[in-house]
């Protein structure tokens, strides 16, 4: 027997009843229609929606029953999350590098303040140009040799650590992008060879060469101090602050009398030694 089409809902006077969508939803919620929906509170079974063919539907259902996404959706999700992790990791590394650079700038006066000017400092350090992190020379009196060299070594260590951290940051960033590209390429290949997967699932891969160039531009390394820094500073120290014997020899005037076997030493007013005599 052929079913007759359902007649529209009518009012008591026989006229058709017109209701908006909001009114129908409100009436359904007020009743028990939603409360008695089949499968209420259970996850939707989408295993067959993204199957690439009938032979994969059973596998897709098993994945869904075990709370595992189909491979295509998992690849897309992983690719997106890896790109986010790459950006977050790079931002964290930038914050660390900024704090480390602040320490470097604070340590720079331990080396620079004892030079009289930039040309003297560049000649002593063997650098062609003035690094941005170095402070201006002040011509301060040289401290003890060990303190002078130890302060410079500490600065060199901080600069080297900064440059190493840049390489670590770039390597981590590119590694995340490389993993994201692998997931995106696998996803795009599955979508390209499937008649059932929508083309909108595909993702664009990152150009790793361009990404590396951009991040290296954003994180330029600092000019390193020479590896023979201690030897260079030792030489400068000897020149700028000679030993006591050399200062005595330079500032003294030795007068020898021809009729006596003794010699007297007349020193400059800045010498700490007043008189000296010697006998043959």
Q: What is the pLDDT of residue 264?
A: 47
Q: Which residues contact 26 (CB under 8 A, 6 or more apart)?
A: none
> What residues pair up with 107 in beta bridges, in sequence order?
none
Q: Per residue in 65-92, pLDDT tens? A: 655 567 788 888 899 999 999 999 999 9
CB atoms within 10 A of CB 185: 14
Strand partners, 20: none
Rounded-to-integer distance, Cα 115 and Cα 118, Å: 7
Question: What pLDDT does 256 receive?
Answer: 45
Please indicate, yes or no, whether the overall pTM of this predicted structure exceeds 0.75: no
* Domain ranges across the chain: 71-237, 243-279
List of E strands, the chain: 253-256, 262-266, 277-279
Tens of pLDDT along 29-54? 676 666 676 666 666 555 444 455 55
């Amino acid at each position: 027997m052929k079913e007759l089409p359902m007649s529209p809902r009518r009012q008591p006077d026989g006229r058709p009843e017109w209701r908006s969508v909001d009114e129908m939803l409100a009436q359904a919620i007020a009743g028990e229609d939603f409360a008695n929906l089949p499968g209420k509170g259970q996850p939707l079974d989408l295993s067959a929606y993204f199957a690439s063919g009938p032979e994969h539907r059973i596998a897709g259902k098993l994945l869904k029953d075990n709370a595992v996404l189909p491979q295509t959706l998992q690849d897309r999700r992983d690719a997106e999350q890896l790109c986010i992790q790459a950006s977050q990791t790079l931002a964290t590394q930038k914050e660390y590098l900024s704090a480390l650079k602040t320490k470097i700038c604070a340590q720079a006066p331990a080396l620079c303040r004892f030079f009289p000017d930039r040309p003297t400092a560049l000649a002593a350090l063997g650098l062609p140009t003035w690094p941005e992190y170095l402070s201006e020379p002040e011509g301060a009196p040289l401290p003890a040799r060990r303190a002078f060299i130890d302060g410079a070594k500490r600065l060199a260590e901080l600069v080297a650590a900064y440059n190493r951290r840049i390489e670590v940051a770039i390597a981590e960033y590119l590694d995340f992008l490389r993993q994201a590209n692998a997931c995106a390429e696998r996803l795009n290949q599955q979508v390209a060879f499937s008649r059932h997967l929508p083309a909108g699932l595909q993702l664009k891969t990152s150009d790793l060469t361009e990404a590396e160039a951009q991040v290296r531009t954003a994180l330029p390394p600092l000019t390193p101090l020479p590896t023979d820094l201690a030897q260079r500073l030792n030489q400068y120290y000897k020149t700028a602050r000679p030993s006591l014997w050399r200062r005595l020899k330079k500032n003294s005037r030795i007068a020898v009398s021809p009729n006596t076997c003794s010699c007297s030493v007349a020193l400059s007013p800045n010498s700490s030694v007043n008189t000296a005599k010697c006998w043959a």
